[in-house]
Amino acid sequence: MVTSPCAICGSDDTVGLFSCREPNGLSEQPFALVRCRICGLVFIHPKRSAAELERFYFPEYYRKPPPGLARLIEGVVAWLADRRAAKVERLRRGRRILDIGCGDGAFLAAMRRRGWEAWGVETSQAGAERARQRPGLIIRAEPLSDCGFPEGHFDVVTLWHSLEHVGDPVAYLAEVRRVLSPAGVALIAVPNADSLEFRLFRGNWFHLDLPRHLYHFSPRTLARLLGRCGLELRQTSHFSWEYNPFGFMQSALNALSIEKNFLYRRLKGFKADPARPAAARAYDACVLALAGPPLAAVSFLYSLLSASLHSGGCLVAYAVRPDRATSPS
Ligand SMILES: [Zn+2]
């Protein structure tokens, strides 16, 4: 097996954790996770090339929700995007924002409504096309390294659950640092490999998402990575309305049901596998009907508790350039 050195510290001294399959049945082969014994970074092993991973980014991820649920889901997404935008504005009032891995552009549209010049990078053509349908957004459908943005161009750079997907996070964040203005801020949201959820659910953890998630960070490994890239971690938040309650609930359902990410797949309108036996589908529907309501309440309460203990399933890091001239307004 090819040795994959740690992307943060370069060590090849790793310990195996566990293996699990891609949750949508796209590969029979399980994917293994290891932890670096030196810095603690968790990553997929061995490394896969971008070409190997391409087939795991299927277009369904970026299509509109199913018609029956579209208005409800899009309403909730717009409300959550606006809450996120308000949080960004509390940290930094500025003029120009770059969202890397902007998906369908819901967050950028919320920033645009608040008067910002909103730029997005999205390498999925399907995602970029949906983002371009929103008025006023400037969307680049190519890797960040190919965009050639001017140095110090953005007041805010955001990465909402995109850093764990990139092959070389050091080079990536170095480019983020380069395009960030001296008084700018970077907001980076990632799943938290230091959370109780990661240890509890292991292969059933919703945020594991192998093999698309190549790295799993913790507050400590993220701080070390940012430091290597010329950024300074100022604070971390452990609560996310968008990710934490749902992530806990879907992880618990994964432990009980047959089909992985059963609820998520229904909400996204993914096609059901016609080869699945009717009895398996009926069993999963019963699990969702019986366990769903109590789990929703438990997930919400657990998310609040874990956030207060700094052990949320996902975390948001707020980072700055150490050479910044002024504090954020
Ligand atoms: Zn390491």
pLDDT one-digit tens code per residue, 139-151: 999 999 999 999 9
Q: Which residue has the higher pLDDT, 163 or 54?
A: 163
Is the pLDDT at 328 greater than 60, yes or no?
no
Ligand 1 geometric centre to CA of 128 (Å):
33
Amino acid at site 23: P
Q: Which of 58-72, 158-172, 237-251 has the highest mean pLDDT?
A: 158-172
Classify burial at 10, counting beta carbons within 10 Å of its beta carbon; exposed 0-12, middle 13-18, buried 19 or more. exposed
Is the pLDDT at 65 greater than 90, yes or no?
no
Radius of gyration of the chain (CA): 19
Ligand 1 geometric centre to CA of 143 (Å):
25
Ligand 1 geometric centre to CA of 6 (Å):
5
Ligand 1 geometric centre to CA of 211 (Å):
19
229 confidence band (pLDDT: 50, 70, 90) = very high
Range scoring the smallest mean pLDDT among 11-25, 62-76, 267-281 = 62-76
Ligand 1 geometric centre to CA of 9 (Å):
4
What are 298-322's pLDDT values in tens digits?
999 999 999 999 999 999 999 999 8
Give 142's DSSP letter: S
Ligand 1 geometric centre to CA of 224 (Å):
10
pLDDT given at position 57:
82
Contact 321, 180 (CB under 8 A): yes
Note if the bond before 46 is cis, omega within 30 degrees. yes
| pTM of the shown model | 0.89
Is the pLDDT at 3 greater than 70, yes or no?
no
